[in-house]
Amino acid sequence: MSVQSEQRAREEQQVADAPDLGSGTCVPFASPAAASGPEHVETPVAYDGILLAGFGGPEGQEDVIPFLRNVTRGRGIPDERLEEVAHHYRAFGGVSPINDHNRLLKAALEAELAARGIDLPVYWGNRNWAPYLSEAVTEAADAGDTTLIAIATSAYSSFSSCRQYREDFAQVLTETGLAGTVTIDKVRPYFDHPGFVHTFVEGVREAVAGFLEQGHAPQQIRVLFSTHSIPMADAARSGPASLGLGEGGAYAAQHLAVADHVMGKVDQELGVDVPWDLVYQSRSGPPSQPWLEPDICDAIELLPGAGVTAVVIVPLGFVSDHMEVLWDLDTEALDAASAAGLAAVRTPTPGINPSYVSGLVDLVVERLNGTPAGERPALTRLGPWFDVCRPGCCENVRAGFKPAAAGLTP
């Protein structure tokens, strides 16, 4: 029995007990096809717009602290502590590359849609900086586009990478007064969609092949798949608890499954067996709070003692070269590799790779067509993941549950 089939059986009672919000609805802010909470929406939906939902980033030195206040709002962090993070942005002129990447991604999506003859406008809004989600949703409503399908620029399941976007959708619809007019569904987390994974396979294969040509033996090469660390308590609550995916929850399990697929492909294509690990970066919590480990720089420091001479750094948790990639990997991790005497290379993020862009449009098309789950591409045993998030999925331990779109309550 597949993981999804087992999940369906385990959660049948949970779905039956989900609160009824009227007319059979237990998913607020949703299209009629998603409102009753199916795991996969296998009914065609006539979306009239795409909401590209980004994180946002500062675009000048004067933006940095206001942006970081937005990111940490509600946590009472003083500006002096925010300035400790601000120096990452200040080193690049106060400009995060993330907004320009999203401008390019929006244009690439529009071009791919046009090439396929799909007449859907793309509205772009951010959670933490202009253009804000509220502006994008209002623009869509003003144009008469009220049935939206959202693409978040994050592929995995966790509070910050999925549920927080869904909560922001709900907040925007409520605060703009559009909750009764606009609906927002969300494409499934696409961590194991071929379009997303392709870039990583391509990058790792090229990096490993390059090190082999330089004379490094397979066992002297270490591939480190890196993603953003999150508190272990949040990780444990990522994805439906009933899947039983361990203390790292769906967040760790999804990354491990994708990394395993990538290395399986690379080893098969190159005829080698290269060791690899999943590592974490960018932790920001107090030392007393357990976060997912090991940290990438700590892991790199230990590699020479294990006979490693070359390291491949893979930004597996990221869709583009934003600040966590430019600073934490291209600066700190590569500096750590140099200090350890290791040859090192960082592989590309998906960015606007044609396979990634095409894959994102494929995710929209499966909802436009109501493609059955069994016909959807997924490269790991965990997929295809849910269209409608399950009850209690990805709770924020600090703040608890807030109203969220695209998922069963709470």
Domain CATH number, residue 278: 3.40.50.1400
Range from 14-23, 331-340, 391-400 carrying the lowest mean pLDDT: 14-23
Query: 116: Cβ–Cβ under 8 A, 6 or more apart, which residues?
Result: 361
Residue 16 clears pLDDT 80, i.e. is over it:
no
- Identify whether 235 is part of a domain: yes
Residue 5 clears pLDDT 80, i.e. is over it:
no
* Mean pLDDT within 13-31: 58
Residue 12 clears pLDDT 50, i.e. is over it:
no
Q: What is the pLDDT of residue 387?
A: 98
* Mean pLDDT within 174-197: 98
Q: What is the pLDDT of residue 85?
A: 86
| Residues 201 and 186 placed together within one structural domain of the fold | no
Confidence of residue 7 (pLDDT cuts 50, 70, 90): very low
- 336, two tokens: 């750590």
R_g of the chain computed on alpha carbons: 21
Q: What is the pLDDT of residue 25?
A: 61
Q: What is the pLDDT of residue 373?
A: 98
| Residues 182 and 284 placed together within one structural domain of the fold | no
| Residues 112 and 76 placed together within one structural domain of the fold | yes
Strand partners, 314: 225
- Identify whether 334 is part of a domain: yes
End-to-end CA distance of the chain: 28
pLDDT per position as a tens digit, 219-244: 999 999 999 999 999 999 999 988 99
φ, ψ of residue 114 to 5 degrees: the values are -65, -40
| Residues 360 and 249 placed together within one structural domain of the fold | no
- Identify whether 82 is part of a domain: yes
Q: What is the pLDDT of residue 286?
A: 82
| Residues 53 and 173 placed together within one structural domain of the fold | yes
* Mean pLDDT within 82-100: 93
| Residues 74 and 139 placed together within one structural domain of the fold | yes
Q: What is the pLDDT of residue 163?
A: 97
Residue 113 clears pLDDT 70, i.e. is over it:
yes
Range from 1-10, 93-102, 206-215, 303-312 carrying the lowest mean pLDDT: 1-10
Confidence of residue 84 (pLDDT cuts 50, 70, 90): confident
- 47 and 147 Cβ atoms separated by less than 8 Å: yes
What's the predicted TM-score (pTM) here?
0.92
| Residues 361 and 337 placed together within one structural domain of the fold | no
How distant, in Å, are the alpha carbons of 26, 138, 170, 209 from that of 175?
21, 11, 9, 52
Sheet of strand 310-314: strand arrangement? 276-281, 221-228, 310-314, 343-346
pLDDT per position as a tens digit, 147-172: 999 999 999 999 999 999 999 999 99
Residue 6 clears pLDDT 60, i.e. is over it:
no
Which of residues 300, 331, 346 is at a domain's end?
346
Cis peptide before 391 (omega within 30 of 0): no
d(CA 144, CA 124): 16
Residue 13 clears pLDDT 60, i.e. is over it:
no
- 127 and 168 Cβ atoms separated by less than 8 Å: yes
pLDDT per position as a tens digit, 267-313: 999 999 999 999 999 998 788 899 999 999 999 999 999 999 999 99
Tally the domains of the chain: 2
pLDDT per position as a tens digit, 350-394: 999 999 999 999 999 999 999 999 999 999 999 999 999 999 899
d(CA 161, CA 163): 7
| Residues 184 and 198 placed together within one structural domain of the fold | no
| Residues 313 and 366 placed together within one structural domain of the fold | no
- Residue 366's domain comprises 3-190+353-375
| Residues 183 and 243 placed together within one structural domain of the fold | no
Q: Does the CA dihedral 36-42-46-51 come out positive or negative?
A: positive
Residue 43 clears pLDDT 50, i.e. is over it:
yes
- 188, two tokens: 């499934």
Residue 18 clears pLDDT 90, i.e. is over it:
no
d(CA 215, CA 71): 45
